[in-house]
Copies of this chain bind each other. A is one copy, B any other.
């Protein structure tokens, strides 16, 4: 381990992805890149929890199909979500004859799954791993905040939980695919933010800590990357992160964008943009992955960020610990 970054020498590649999202996301900036945009966010199910599960199942299934693999070629599913006991992931996993590792780091699930999957492929243990996660506005809202029927007014620092899911297959298959070259595991960081509506503010310090650790342990600087893509800090959180980075004399203003900023046309009630595990899962696995394939982006540092609160911890007066895991995803030239 070089500082806190682990390096992958054997080109664990992202050979295929899939995304699905709701009507609001379909009308957003990156809507046309999403594989399947649904018009009915219940997906015909009787509960929103089942709708969320159906989206995640779709993303897993189609990531495999889009990779040209058979289901029996897949060695492992690494997945998690925001619901208590990650039922979306577990119940989705039940549908597949594939071993399952459940993970939870809130909205940093996508990059955590990439890091674990890449290590298991790179180390020669497995051949194909699916990494997937998702979220649903209506399940997150009623689990974390208020009953939907209450129609609560949202404060201006709030974000909007993305209804959507994304999945990707990491593989030892050779080809002209984007490669996960290294991963920096994040430390749990808590600056004492207690406002559960201000996720971006709570998570920005964790993102900074991982970024600094990544640059320090790799010897890279922000210019190395075409894009530094955080998970779901939103507009306010992204501004806080840039400010926090400048405090440490590292400037990411030029090449930093947040998935929560990208996903919506922010002029409506979603205020600071998207959040939820589905936010970075949808943005990365649609728009960003396609840009990598087209070589319009060649070096992306993907840092999904997670706020590790629960309603119990908030009700007991606790602040919000956060974490951010970074993975570098690059086109290796001259292969």
Contact = CB atoms under 8 A, between A and B. Distances in A.
Interface of A: 1, 4, 6, 47, 49-50, 75-76, 80, 82-87, 90-91, 93-94, 96-106, 112, 115-116, 119-120, 122-127, 143, 185-190, 308-313, 316, 318, 321, 323, 325
Contact of A188 (B75, B82, B94, B186): B94
Contacts of A76: 185
Given A105-B102, A308-B85, A119 B125 contact: yes
A202 to B, nearest CB: 12
- Grouping DSSP codes into helix (H, G, I), strand (E, B) and loop, the A interface class, with mixed when no group exceeds half, is mixed
Nearest to A126: B1
Nearest to A91: B321
A143 B75 CA distance: 34
Contact of A49 (B50, B99, B313): B313
Given A84-B84, A313-B49, A101 B100 contact: no
Contacts of A86: 104, 308
Q: Which 3 A-B pairs have the closest CB atoms?
A: A123-B123, A99-B185, A90-B308
A181 B112 CA distance: 25
